[in-house]
C-alpha cells in the first residue's frame, strides 16, 4: 500500500539551536526583570510590570485544534474576519488600547505619588523624632551659663 511516489510532505526544518537561544534569552530577560522588581523592595512593582505588559489588546488570531481540517477552518475564520468583522473590531481594539494605556499611566503616576508621600512622611517622622530628642536633651542637660545670665548654674 505504500507508494514511494506518494510520500507525505516533510515538516519544515526547525532550527533547534535558534529556538533554544531565543528561549534562553527570554528566560534571562524574565529573570533580570524579576531581580529588578525584587531589588526595588516594593510589592507593587511586580504588579506594575504586569500592568505594562498586559495594557495592549491585540486583534484575535484565528486558530483551530482540528488536525485535518485546521487550515480550512483557519482560512474560513480569516475570510469572515476580514470581510465582516475587521471594521467592527479594529476601532474597538484601538479605543480599548487608548484607555488601557491612559489607565496604566495614571496608575503608575499614583504609585509614584504614593511613594513620594511615603518618603515625605518618613522624613517628617525622622524630623519629629529628632526634635523630641533635642527637647529631651534640653530638659535633662544642666543649664549652661550665658553672658546674659551668668548665675545660671546647676
Q: What is the pLDDT of residues 17-30, one digit of tens each?
A: 888 888 888 888 88
Higher pLDDT, 106 or 146: 106
* Mean pLDDT within 110-122: 93
Which range has highest mean pLDDT (2-11, 43-52, 96-105, 123-132)? 123-132
Residue 36 contacts by C-beta under 8 Å, 6 or more apart in sequence?
A: 45
Q: Is residue 42 helix, strand or coil?
A: coil
* Mean pLDDT within 42-47: 66
If we measure between CA atoms, which residue out of 25, 24, 96, 108 comes closest to residue 59? Answer: 96
Q: What is the pLDDT of residues 4-16, one digit of tens each?
A: 555 555 656 788 8
Residue with cell 534640653: 138
Higher pLDDT, 17 or 143: 17
Side-chain-side CA neighbours of 107 within 13 Å: the count stands at 15
| pTM assigned to the model | 0.46
Q: Rg (Cα) of the chain, in Å, rounded?
A: 33
Predicted pLDDT at 142: 61
Predicted pLDDT at 144: 61
* CB neighbours of residue 36 within 10 Å: 12
Predicted pLDDT at 154: 47
96 in Cβ contact with 77 (< 8 Å): no
- CA separation for the pair 150, 154 (Å, rounded): 11
67 in Cβ contact with 8 (< 8 Å): no
DSSP H helices in the chain: 16-40, 44-53, 70-80, 86-140
Amino acid at each position: 500500500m505504500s507508494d514511494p511516489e506518494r510520500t507525505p510532505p516533510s515538516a519544515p526544518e526547525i532550527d533547534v539551536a535558534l529556538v533554544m537561544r531565543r528561549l534562553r534569552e527570554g528566560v534571562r530577560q524574565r529573570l533580570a526583570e524579576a531581580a529588578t522588581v525584587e531589588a526595588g523592595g516594593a510589592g507593587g512593582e511586580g504588579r506594575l510590570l504586569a500592568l505594562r505588559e498586559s495594557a495592549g489588546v491585540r486583534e484575535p488570531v484565528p486558530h483551530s485544534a482540528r488536525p485535518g481540517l485546521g487550515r480550512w477552518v483557519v482560512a474560513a475564520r480569516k475570510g469572515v474576519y476580514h470581510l465582516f468583522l475587521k471594521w467592527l473590531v479594529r476601532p474597538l481594539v484601538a479605543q480599548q488600547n487608548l484607555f488601557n494605556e491612559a489607565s496604566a499611566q495614571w496608575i503608575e503616576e499614583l504609585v509614584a505619588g504614593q511613594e513620594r508621600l511615603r518618603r515625605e512622611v518618613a522624613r517628617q517622622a525622622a524630623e519629629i523624632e529628632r526634635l523630641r530628642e533635642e527637647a529631651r536633651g534640653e530638659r535633662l542637660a544642666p543649664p549652661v551659663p550665658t553672658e546674659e545670665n551668668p548665675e545660671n548654674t546647676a
